[in-house]
Each structure stands twice: as structure tokens, then as C-alpha cells.
Structure 1
């Protein structure tokens, strides 16, 4: 895909970034954070969520 021709028009209402910190096949310990979510909304609200272990228990 040629990103030079893709343009966004309008306003974003929500932006969510998801970061995964897992290695396939490697078991994680229950205390390790394996996933992070950062969300920003158009009205300025911001929140961060961290998840740990393979069951995605929220911290």
C-alpha cells in the first residue's frame, strides 16, 4: 500500500494504542505485564490499562 496516497479527512473520535509484550510459546509469569492499552478521546479523556498473564487480568 502506498501511504502517500492515503489521507484522513474529518475528526478522530477515539485513538487506541495497544502494545503487546509477549513471546509466542514462552509462558509468562503471573506478575509480568503482557499488554498495555492507551486510549485518547476527542473530548480529552485519557486512560491507560495494563494487563498481566495469559488470561489478561487487568491491573
Structure 2
């Protein structure tokens, strides 16, 4: 299973998401850690903090 990267840390899970090739349902492309609600909320907060610390031009706002 491939873990998720949150704030440059690899985070595992007890649940797995399976990525299947839609043209061949027997072809499993990968297995990934399913983030918990808490992990997703933590990643969202980190993203918001990092985005807010960028200059306005890096956020796509007009100068």
C-alpha cells in the first residue's frame, strides 16, 4: 500500500483505496492509504496556512 504524504511526512492508514484500470477491471493500478477525517482536516489546515503565507501574485491574484 502506498502511504499519503502530509506535510512531507508519509502517513499510513488502516483502510485502503484500490485504483483499478477502467478498461481492464482485473488490472489493479495501485493501492493507497485512505486518509481519515482527521488526516484530511490536518492536510487542509496545512494547505491553507501555506497558501496564506504566499505572496498575492503566487496565489493568482492580480497585482
TM-score, normalised to structure 2, is 0.22
The structure whose residues are more often helix, as a share, is 2
The structure whose residues are more often strand, as a share, is 1
TM-score, normalised to structure 1, is 0.23
